[in-house]
Structure 1
Amino acid sequence: MVKGRLNLEKHGKLYGFLEILRPLNCLMMGFATLLGAIITVGFRVNPFLVFLGFVTAFTLTGSSMALNDYFDRFVDLVNEPTRPIPRGTIKPREALGFAFFLAFLGLFSASITSLTVKSLGFLVLVVAFLAYGLSAYYNVKGKKYGFLGNLMVSGCVAVPFLYGAFMVGFFPKPVLLVFAFLAFLSNTGREIIKGIADVEGDKLRNVQTLAIKLNPKKASYVASVFYVLAVCLSFLPPMFGMVSLWYIPFVVVACAGFLFIAFYTVKNPSAKNAKKMKKLSLLWMGFGLTAFLVGSIM
């Protein structure tokens, strides 16, 4: 009986670290980096650079997520009481140590990449350090700025596309800049919706989200503007011949999903509905990434 309980606690701890990591977010950022490399040089990309780029994006994103849980641990007592730290599975210092470990792995991987790539190696390291520095600043202080903090997060989400080009020794192509901007817009909409979901807890940390400064209803309209902008601009690549027609079916699904989120968030700007919409947004982002990849290689 005691042995079974110890095993459960052990697995509970491991599962807690996995939750803090938010592997889906990390995988999407790793995939965005690979996408940037493939769009830039095709499948001729060095497999070792692919591995390093994925590790860099995955671990630095994971580190940022762990930092977020650490600095939001008191807010999460209200907003997300089932998160690993509030429920007692992971101690705050363990989350912080995990964040530092992941940051070391990510920045070390970026350093190896900068020494491996034949050109623009210095930019690889600069971009990695600046992006992680921005995400760390957001968690420590930037989140309190509300909408400006939302833009910081979205900037970090857009960077992996560009990093993918730098890590294979090239500047990003125009189509890659468009993809990065689309990711920036759609993620900003998602961040504003997260603010609607987290109103009660954010008040404790004096986070000036749009949902608090305005109200949830008005914030939902602003979020919708970003989603609609992303939808409208997503058809620029096929219009200018940047992608193949294979891009269209996947991006149509993503656009329909984003419009659905925009409509239902405005219709019901409650915290409960906003939590559902922010999670659903990741699904449509996944379709968007698929559209970027398929439209670029087929």
Structure 2
Amino acid sequence: MSVNLTLHPRLPQPAAMLELIKPITWFPPVWAYLCGAVSAGVWPGTGWPMVLLGMVLAGPIVCGMSQAANDWCDRHVDAVNEPNRPIPSGRIPGRWGLWIALAMTVLSLAVGWALGPWGFAATVFGVLAAWAYSAEPVRLKRSGWWGPGLVGLCYEGLPWFTGAAVLAGGLPTFEVVVLAALYAFGAHGIMTLNDFKALEGDRQHGVRSLPVTLGPEVAAKIACTVMAMAQLLVIVMLLVWGKPWHALAIAALLASQIAAMRVLLRDPKAKAPWYNGTGVLLYVSGMLIAAFAVRGLG
């Protein structure tokens, strides 16, 4: 199959533009923003437009922008791993991938401004993090530790914090910040599993993901440990805060995840996509339970 990385004057295909910003990746930050809004303990009332605008910003706009930026900066890696993607296949020709990412960066900042000072500050951080992850000379995705950590923070912790801050109109409570940080920490494991699909291209282009540097088996064990540890700490904190039933519900979800992890660890490379569709769903379900648990605390 030929791979097209040259510059062409023609326009990109509309379907390819949608594929570039990967709608399937929007769910985690949208869900986390919603969890943040729930955890704020303030009934939205007339604030629903801000909740919905924040969810659109977190998912289609900022996350979509980060995907476009990543695909542009990764176009040579994708030519090895996934040559059918929009840029290496030529369906997004020339520098259109870069122009789309830059235009969405401007759009992100404009919409973030409409969310007030907390929303705008979080948007600036998210935009900078997206480019720092993908673009030279920083390109934090080259590190199997810093890269997944930054993505986990921006997918789960940052939108959770932002949703709570926007709805509450100020700094979220200590309990909300702790939960956002713990679930962001656990998301490091989710992002490590996501790196399994790019093993060959990462090896060839110097991306030192954990599956590349440590091997799939060890990387999968680390990912599972991180995800489980984060949720165990959430359970402990909920017990300390006097929320035993919420803690029990998350413990049940964690037990189901551990059963799924046993399947994953039998063949990490083959089962990573399966786990991302099963175990991760249980993980994010616990996020909403935890969000309801801390409403009104602090």
Bin for the TM-score computed over the shorter chain: 0.7 to 0.9
Contact kept, 8 Å, 2:192 with 2:209, in 1: the verdict is yes
Are 1:229 and 2:229 matched, yes or no?
yes
Name 1:23's counterpart in structure 2.
23
Equivalent residue letter for 1:37:
A
Contact kept, 8 Å, 1:227 with 1:262, in 2: the verdict is no
Are 1:90 and 2:88 matched, yes or no?
no
SS of match in other structure, 1:43: coil
Name 1:134's counterpart in structure 2.
129
| Shift in alpha-carbon separation, 1:265–1:31, aligned structure 2, 3 A | closer
Equivalent residue letter for 2:288:
T
Are 1:174 and 2:174 matched, yes or no?
yes
SS of match in other structure, 1:198: helix
- The correspondence for 1:75, drawn from 71, 77, 88, is 77
Deviation larger for 146-155 or 29-38: 29-38
Deviation larger for 40-49 or 161-170: 40-49
Name 1:4's counterpart in structure 2.
none
Map 1:24-103 → 2, pairs under 5 A: 24-44=24-44, 46-58=47-59, 59-91=61-93, 93-103=95-105
TM-score (norm 2): 0.81
List alignment gaps of at least 5 residues for structure 2: 1-11
| Shift in alpha-carbon separation, 1:189–1:100, aligned structure 2, 3 A | same
Name 1:110's counterpart in structure 2.
112
Aligned partners of 2:64 and 2:148: how far apart in 1?
A: 18
Aligned partners of 1:231 and 1:240: how far apart in 2?
A: 14
1:92 deviates by: 5.6
Aligned partners of 1:205 and 1:128: how far apart in 2?
A: 30
Aligned partners of 2:17 and 2:247: how far apart in 1?
A: 36
Aligned partners of 2:63 and 2:144: how far apart in 1?
A: 20
1:67 deviates by: 1.2
Aligned partners of 1:212 and 1:183: how far apart in 2?
A: 25
Aligned partners of 1:148 and 1:27: how far apart in 2?
A: 22
1:163 deviates by: 1.1
Contact kept, 8 Å, 2:38 with 2:292, in 1: the verdict is no
SS of match in other structure, 1:42: coil
Contact kept, 8 Å, 2:33 with 2:161, in 1: the verdict is yes
Contact kept, 8 Å, 1:231 with 1:258, in 2: the verdict is no
Aligned partners of 2:279 and 2:123: how far apart in 1?
A: 26
Contact kept, 8 Å, 2:32 with 2:159, in 1: the verdict is yes
1:257 deviates by: 4.6
| Shift in alpha-carbon separation, 1:193–1:44, aligned structure 2, 3 A | closer
SS of match in other structure, 1:135: helix
| Shift in alpha-carbon separation, 1:15–1:258, aligned structure 2, 3 A | farther
1:136 deviates by: 1.2
1:161 deviates by: 0.9
C-alpha distance after superposition, 1:95-115 (max 9, x if no partner) = 32222232222211111222x
Name 1:283's counterpart in structure 2.
281
C-alpha distance after superposition, 1:45-88 (max 9, x if no partner) = 52232233223212111100111122222222332333333333
1:208 deviates by: 1.0
Name 1:191's counterpart in structure 2.
191
Contact kept, 8 Å, 1:248 with 1:291, in 2: the verdict is no
SS of match in other structure, 1:75: helix
List alignment gaps of at least 5 residues for structure 1: 1-11, 115-120
RMSD: 2.7
Aligned partners of 2:219 and 2:63: how far apart in 1?
A: 26
SS of match in other structure, 1:245: helix
| Shift in alpha-carbon separation, 1:243–1:107, aligned structure 2, 3 A | farther
1:246 deviates by: 5.5
| Shift in alpha-carbon separation, 1:71–1:108, aligned structure 2, 3 A | same
C-alpha distance after superposition, 1:147-178 (max 9, x if no partner) = 21111111212111111122232212233223
Contact kept, 8 Å, 1:131 with 1:156, in 2: the verdict is yes
SS of match in other structure, 2:86: coil
